Amino acid sequence: MFPTISIIKDPKQGISTATLFEKTEQISHAGLSENEKEFLSKKLKKGTECSFLKYPELSFFGKIKAAEAYLEQEAARKAGAKLYQELKDAHITAVNLVNRHNSPLLSAFLEGLLLASYSFDKYLKEKETFQLKEVFVVGEEVSDKDAEELLNLTSAVFAARDLVNEPNSFLNAVQLSNELESLGEKAGFAIEVFNKQKIETLKMGGLLAVNKGSIDPPTFNILEWKPENAVNKKPIVLVGKGIVFDTGGLSLKPTANSMDYMKTDMAGAAVIATAIYVMALNKLPLHVVGLIAATDNRPDGNAYVPGDIITMFDGTTVEVLNTDAEGRLTLGDALSYAKKYDPQLVIDYATLTGAADIVAGPHAAVVMGNSSENIEKLKEAGFQTYERLIEVPLWEEYAKPLKSKIADLNNLGSREGQSTIAGKFLEHFTSYNWIHIDSAGTPFLKEADAYRPAGGTGFGTRLLYQFLKSMI
């Protein structure tokens, strides 16, 4: 699937070369004729990347303008994605990567190149045939270890994209558990799957209520990466929303631009599973546990209904006012279960509210919680990976709409401030350092955007990995 990456001192002769630079004079020694330099200068006035083909070689130049470091890194990723498309269009399978820019950008350039190579053709009669086979990274800016780490991270992002792209006709809750077990076998982390009988024994009322309308049983998945050299005495727990398809239940969603994309409602599960996957592949010395409550949400004759009162795993009673506010019910059970680990920190990741999509769109996720220092570290990781976060407060006023006259809570609250109200609902089930990420607008794109393809984006895997790596 991925090309061989070699670190070399000088560009390989006779193959295509891609060059990053900041000023035009930095490419004066790139072996171009005067006519080629003139052609390049004219093209660069119209854009930041250009290429021209001298058969069988492609000369690609990406001009990265001086800016803040994280913006330069993102510009390099986008240049890498542009290069991949150029190579694919010309059917060129080997390339040199050269950096003439004053800043270290080759790793980001390589990252964009790799991330852009994704395709989901499982259900297509005509499969993708182009394969980039060799990448030669010129210089000592990227090490062999860096390249291996980046390949593993790209593999994790692709796994997250695959999971989000899979339809519910394949990926029900049981199959999701099978896929997670496969990831565990490949990377070496442990996984335990609770079946419906075990979930009933535990009295996970939120998960069981949402599952009542499904003909498929729910699962509760515990993923664990616990290396012997872990630097943390208490585990970090990651909780992912695992609604494999969300019709809204009896509070039925409209189809256009709503229900038709609800195979993506398990993107939180995909993100936390693949973050643990790449941690295990790269052997990060950090003890991490993942919790995923999985089911679909359908309007069957036995489905839970508005007005029902359910009892959650921790004993909290909840009045159901809207069956489409189901994610917070399954997450509430998982967050309560997390207490048994006496965690150092818990992060839940979910496509939870349309309000978060309105706030951030596809460009960022919304973050809130009670651990300010870790939120700041997460936001910094967001800039480093360009999977950014917008923080909103968890003021007590947002809890008032969740009061019920006949139960401890209701599951809806008011329309205004809904992303924060959902966060306040989840907060009720926490008693530890906790962060909530609502990524409703990020997991799926209708049209490709640079190295993020149309379909599943894998947004969040790189973010969590960067954050967890910073804790070592």
Q: Indicate the SS3 state at residue 369.
A: strand
Would you place residue 298 in the very low, low, confident or very high pLDDT band (cuts 50, 70, 90)? Answer: very high
Q: Where are the beta strands (DSSP E) in 226-315?
A: 236-246, 288-297, 309-311
Q: Which residues contact 91 (CB under 8 A, 6 or more apart)?
A: 130
Q: What pLDDT is stored for residue 175 in this prediction?
A: 98
Q: Which residues contact 66 (CB under 8 A, 6 or more apart)?
A: 22, 72
Would you place residue 314 in the very low, low, confident or very high pLDDT band (cuts 50, 70, 90)? Answer: very high
| Average pLDDT score over the chain | 95
Q: What pLDDT is stored for residue 23 in this prediction?
A: 78
Average pLDDT of the segment spanning 21-33: 73
* Integer Cα distance of 441 and 454 in angstroms: 14
* Integer Cα distance of 113 and 109 in angstroms: 6
pLDDT in tens, 177-236: 999 999 999 999 999 999 999 999 999 999 999 999 999 999 999 999 999 999 999 999
> Which structure tokens are listed for 300?
């069957």
Q: Are strands 134-138 and 94-99 parallel, antiparallel or unpaired?
A: parallel
Q: Which residues contact 169 (CB under 8 A, 6 or more apart)?
A: none
pLDDT in tens, 52-72: 666 678 888 888 887 899 999
CA dihedral defined by 37, 39, 40, 44, rounded to 10 degrees? 140
Amino acid found at 198: K
Q: Indicate the SS3 state at residue 113.
A: helix
Average pLDDT of the segment spanning 64-84: 92
Q: What pLDDT is stored for residue 29 in this prediction?
A: 58
Tell me which of 77, 328, 379, 452 is the catalytic residue. Answer: 328
Planar angle of CA 77, 82, 88, nearest 5 degrees: 125
* Integer Cα distance of 393 and 416 in angstroms: 14
Q: Which residues contact 246 (CB under 8 A, 6 or more apart)?
A: 253, 259, 262, 265, 296, 297, 324, 326, 327
Average pLDDT of the segment spanning 401-427: 97
Average pLDDT of the segment spanning 395-406: 97
Q: Indicate the SS3 state at residue 430.
A: coil
Q: What pLDDT is stored for residue 50 in this prediction?
A: 66
Q: What pLDDT is stored for residue 295 in this prediction?
A: 98
- Whether pLDDT at 47 is above 80: no
Q: Which residues contact 159 (CB under 8 A, 6 or more apart)?
A: 183, 270, 273, 274, 277
Higher pLDDT, 47 or 427: 427
Q: What pLDDT is stored for residue 197 in this prediction?
A: 98
pLDDT in tens, 455-469: 999 999 999 999 999
pLDDT in tens, 132-161: 999 999 999 999 999 999 999 999 999 999
Active site residue 328: yes
CA distances from 145 to 7, 152, 198, 282, 403 (A): 10, 11, 42, 10, 53
* Integer Cα distance of 431 and 413 in angstroms: 22
Q: Indicate the SS3 state at residue 241.
A: strand
Query: Closest Cα to residue 186, out of 204, 166, 164, 159?
Result: 159
Amino acid found at 123: Y
pLDDT in tens, 242-286: 999 999 999 999 888 889 999 999 999 999 999 999 999 999 999
Q: What pLDDT is stored for residue 5 in this prediction?
A: 98
Cβ(137)–Cβ(147) under 8 Å?
A: yes
The sign of the CA dihedral 403, 211, 314, 276 is negative
Tell me which of 77, 78, 82, 253 is the catalytic residue. Answer: 253
Active site residue 100: no
